[in-house]
Amino acid sequence: MALESDDLKKLIHALEFASRKHKDQRRKDVDASPYINHPISLASILCNEAHVTDIDVICGALLHDTVEDTDTTEEELEKEFGKKICNIVMDVTDDALLSRPERKQAQIDHAAHASDEAKLVKLADKISNLRDVAINSPPTWSLERRQEYFDWAKQVIDQLRGVHPQLEGIFDEAYSRRP
Ligand code: NDP
Ligand code: ZN
């Protein structure tokens, strides 16, 4: 089925917005890859590996780290992209007022209560990050820290299973590379 032109416009808008917001950021791998590679990898996992073509989910994936990691606000996202995409992003955004260990626990506690669309984005985010930790890990991370990251990601994903078995299988394949 051909992409509707309104959906194509929304997709390019999300891509342009995310690339602009993340333009000065880098990932934590040894090559300091451009940050935008990560949101694009989520969209690719969803669309091309799991055949998720819901435009709001794909745009949510492209925008998923803009509130957590840039100056983007919830109001700005709602104005630019509407309530549905904004809600997906806010559902996968950590509460900045919590400490790091509290944020980690909150992800485990809240995963089951997210919308189905947000669960798909969360799955793709964890798949992308597990692949990075397996082959493009932050160079300072010890073996123990990489293992802890895998185990925590699995704890989060185990709370939301049933939403998309194929995507969960892709997560399990990524988890099987646990260092
Ligand atoms: P961070 O939150 O500091 O880093 C992980 C996040 O960084 C990912 O979720 C991802 O988030 C982003 N990221 C950017 N680049 C990469 C990359 N190349 N590979 C993987 N992730 C990348 O670390 P933790 O998630 O580990 O959180 C800290 C927790 O770690 C503490 O609560 C503590 O329990 C534990 N810890 C353990 C240590 C140990 O040695 N065992 C030492 C210090 C902390 P995004 O998708 O949002 O970009
Ligand atoms: Zn992310």
* β-bridge partners, 113: none
pTM: 0.96
Tally of domains within the chain: 1
CA of 113 to the centre of ligand 1 (A): 23
pLDDT digits (tens, 9 = 90+) for 14-37: 999 999 999 999 999 999 999 999
CA of 21 to the centre of ligand 1 (A): 21
**Containing structural domain, residue 148:** 5-175
Indicate which atom in ligand 1 lies nearest the CA of residue 138: 18
pLDDT higher than 90, residue 66: yes
User: Does ligand 1 lie within 6 Å of residue 136's CB atom?
Assistant: yes
What pLDDT sits at residue 158? 98
Q: What is the mean pLDDT of residues 136-163?
A: 98
What pLDDT sits at residue 27? 98
Indicate which atom in ligand 1 lies nearest the CA of residue 103: 32
* β-bridge partners, 34: 26
Residue with the smallest CA separation from ligand 1 atom 28 is: 100
Query: Is 69 labeled as catalytic in the residue annotation?
Result: yes
Q: What is the mean pLDDT of residues 65-87?
A: 98
pLDDT higher than 80, residue 1: no
Yes or no: say if 11 and 54 are a contact pair by the CB < 8 Å rule: no
Residue 4: pLDDT band with limits 50, 70, 90: confident
Sequential DSSP letters for 27-90: -SSTT--BTTHHHHHHHHIIIIIS----HHHHHHHHHTTHHHHSS--HHHHHHHHHHHHHHHHH
Query: Is 109 labeled as catalytic in the residue annotation?
Result: no
Question: Which residues 6+ apart lie within 8 Å of 26 measured at CB?
Answer: 32, 33, 34, 35
Residue with the smallest CA separation from ligand 1 atom 33 is: 101
Residue with the smallest CA separation from ligand 1 atom 43 is: 145
pLDDT digits (tens, 9 = 90+) for 150-175: 999 999 999 999 999 999 999 999 99
Domain of residue 92, CATH code: 1.10.3210.10
